[in-house]
């Protein structure tokens, strides 16, 4: 069962830009904080220094003062609703201190406000919210597939699975090399149709990564599912459990591969947009297969998820992830 969410004011310890449009945020974890891989926080995105900024502009010109917005979205330099952000990792240091790691893609007013936060600022968070990945899913090998900001919940998951002795490989895809928010070793380049695992990436805790870019600038040329199939052609599909997070189209394609190769498990973290994360607004509804007249029941990502078995989900390919 999902754990009960609480409200927290979490201090930012560090902020680091990555790739073209990502930011890593490290937060100070309270002593009683408990979260598991796959859960998320819902963050109030507000600007604490509004009095020092220029007057709010509704001007859409490229040179208009930031924040540029429309309608009511930032009436008081804060977003109308909170923004859900996956918990990347929960790390414990030798001195006993703990940190919550978040990865945010900068795509709209809420994520822009978060990207402007600095060490010492605090974030108003609700969490941890939702269920978690089942770390005991069958399969000696664990393949983690992410697209866009879908890499976020897979970082801590990969570390947790490595700690349990699983053979973990991550697969990550972006449009080009600038969309990879990880600290990659120097000298990497295109690999054509060959899936070449990359090691030594500090964010991943020792797990190798297979990269795909749509323009072929880095790793396999194509989608992340192309990299997955290229790797499987080299190693086989035996004794594999899949985990995924990304746009609906990506996860639908992964679910198709699961059925084709009769894999026992594929857990996916759904990225549906949500307004409240407490089951009231109903905006994160998703269809899950059921033995009834309609063939499905409606479940809500914030209350029943965000983790589901891929075979159970009816992907309608309407969610692209990365909340604005």
Per-residue pLDDT of the chain (324 residues; tens, 9 = 90+): 455 689 999 999 999 999 899 999 999 999 889 999 999 999 998 765 443 344 444 445 555 544 444 444 444 455 778 899 999 999 988 887 899 999 999 988 888 999 999 999 999 999 999 999 999 998 899 999 999 889 999 999 999 999 999 999 999 999 999 999 999 999 999 999 999 999 999 999 889 999 999 999 999 999 999 999 999 999 999 999 999 999 999 999 999 999 999 999 999 999 888 888 888 888 889 999 999 999 999 999 999 999 999 999 999 876 666 656
Residues of the chain with CATH 3.40.50.80: 141-271+306-314
Q: What is the CATH number of domain 141-271+306-314?
A: 3.40.50.80
Residues 6+ away with beta carbon under 8 Å from 245: 86, 145, 146, 147, 150, 151, 152, 153, 154, 251, 268, 269, 271, 321
Asked if residue 179 has a cis previous peptide bond (ω within 30° of 0), the answer is: no
Residues of the chain with CATH 2.40.30.10: 6-129
pLDDT at 96: 79
E-strand ranges in 95-207 read 98-105, 122-129, 141-147, 167-174, 190-192
Q: What is the rounded CA–CA span in Å between residue 285 and residue 323?
A: 16
pLDDT at 273: 83
The conformation of residue 157, written as its DSSP 8-state character, comes to: H
pLDDT at 60: 54
pLDDT at 272: 86
pLDDT at 57: 41
pLDDT at 58: 45
CATH of 6-129, one of 3.40.50.620, 3.40.50.300, 2.40.30.10, 1.10.3720.10: 2.40.30.10
pLDDT at 61: 56
């Amino acid at each position: 069962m999902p754990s009960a969410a609480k409200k927290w004011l979490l201090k930012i310890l560090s902020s680091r830009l990555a790739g073209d449009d990502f930011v890593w945020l490290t937060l100070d974890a309270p002593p009683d904080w408990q979260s598991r891989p796959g859960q998320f926080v819902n963050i109030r995105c507000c600007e604490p220094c509004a009095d020092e900024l220029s007057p709010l502009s509704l001007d859409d010109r490229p040179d208009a003062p930031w924040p540029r917005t429309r309608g009511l979205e930032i009436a008081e330099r804060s977003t109308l609703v909170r923004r859900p952000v996956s918990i990347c990792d929960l790390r414990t240091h030798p001195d006993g201190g703990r940190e919550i790691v978040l990865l945010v893609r900068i795509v709209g007013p809420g994520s822009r406000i978060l990207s402007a936060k600095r060490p010492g600022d605090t974030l108003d968070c609700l969490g941890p919210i939702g269920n978690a990945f089942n770390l005991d899913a069958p399969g000696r090998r664990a393949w983690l597939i992410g697209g866009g900001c879908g890499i976020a919940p897979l970082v801590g998951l990969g570390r947790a699975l490595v700690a349990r002795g699983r053979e973990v490989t991550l697969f990550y895809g972006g449009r080009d090399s600038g969309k990879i928010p990880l600290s990659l070793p120097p000298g990497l380049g295109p690999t054509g149709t060959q899936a070449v695992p990359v090691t030594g990436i500090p964010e991943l805790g020792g797990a190798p990564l297979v990269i795909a870019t749509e323009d072929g600038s880095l790793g396999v040329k194509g989608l992340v599912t192309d990299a997955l199939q290229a790797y499987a052609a080299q190693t086989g599909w035996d004794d594999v459990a899949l985990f995924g997070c990304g746009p609906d189209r990506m996860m639908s394609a992964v679910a198709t591969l699961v059925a084709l190769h009769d894999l026992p498990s594929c857990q996916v973290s759904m990225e549906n947009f949500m307004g409240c994360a407490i089951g009231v607004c109903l905006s994160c509804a998703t269809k899950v297969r059921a033995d009834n007249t309609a063939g499905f029941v409606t479940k809500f990502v914030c209350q029943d998820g965000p983790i589901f078995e891929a075979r159970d989900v009816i992907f309608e390919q309407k969610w692209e992830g990365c909340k604005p």
